[in-house]
Structure 1
Amino acid sequence: MRVKEHDVVEHVERVSLRELRLWVRQGWVRPSSSTKGPVFDELDLARIELLCDLRKELSLPSDTVPVVLNLLDHLHQARRDLRALAEALAEQPEEVQRSVAETVQNRKAEMDVPQTGRAR
């Protein structure tokens, strides 16, 4: 689904055209460009819904929004990376999978042991 600005405002009733354009200018939403203006996809709509929640429901200040969006973007990228790693590991022989799983468990155990004077 790809929609134009006015369709976004109709679909996401909590956002005005003025707010939407401001959020695009601020880089909080990054629609595709077309000869007739910006075009928004499903991910853009989800991000606009999130922005409505952050700004209107949680009253998050404007200067804090980029920080939250950046953290969420990093979290989503980490999840994609972990999914790719898990898929690659699943393609390996069982002995490799067991070895990696054992190594991960050992590392987690090491990280759980309090170390004097060192941060985890």
Structure 2
Amino acid sequence: MTSFYTEEQVLTRVGRLTRLRLVSYVEADIVRPLATESGPAYRPVDVARLELLSELTEEFELADDTLAIIVSLLDQLHDARADLRTLADAIAREPLEVRARLGQALVRRRG
């Protein structure tokens, strides 16, 4: 079961986060809460993202457009890691000779 957090709970959990900054992140489409009848609902991943965004904003004074680029790159990296994990799982199910050939190809590719 996935937990969801209200805006008030998010502001409490992420100590550095102000309501104005939260609204700014949502308006900049850096964080996308779920729309519910009782208002925006934030997932644990949103809370983690808000913690990172708050730290980057406070420590490096990054603008929202820069934060959006950083978050986009992090999302791409996360997706690439998930794809690589799926590929590794698929390779692990292949016969030994196929895995050996793929391993040799990777060694050759790396030089």
- Pick the TM interval, shorter chain: over 0.9
Q: Which residue of 1 aligns with 2:85?
A: 83
Q: CA deviation at 1:52?
A: 0.7
8 A contact 2:26–2:32 mirrored in 1: yes
Which residue in 2 is equivalent to 1:96? 98
1:69 is the counterpart of 2:32: no
Unaligned runs of 5+ in 2: none
Choose the corresponding residue for 1:10, options 9, 12, 16.
12
Between the aligned partners of 2:34 and 2:46, the Cα distance in structure 1 is 10
Residue ranges of structure 1 left out of the alignment (5+ in a row): 110-120
Structure 1 letter corresponding to 2:96: E
Q: What is the percentage of aligned positions where both structures have the same residue?
A: 37
Superposition CA RMSD, Å: 1.0
How high is the TM-score relative to the length of structure 1? Answer: 0.86
Aligned amino acid, residue 27 of structure 1: D
Larger radius of gyration: 1
> Structure 1 or 2: larger helix share?
2
Q: Any idea what the Cα deviations from partners look like across 1:28-73, whole Å, max 9, x if unmatched?
A: 1011110011101110001001101111112223331111111111
Amino acid corresponding to residue 81 of structure 2 in structure 1: R
What's the CA shift string for 1:49-99, capped at 9, x where partnerless?
A: 110111111222333111111111111111011011001111111111111
In structure 2, relative to structure 1, the CA distance for the partners of 1:62 and 1:25 (3 Å cut) is closer
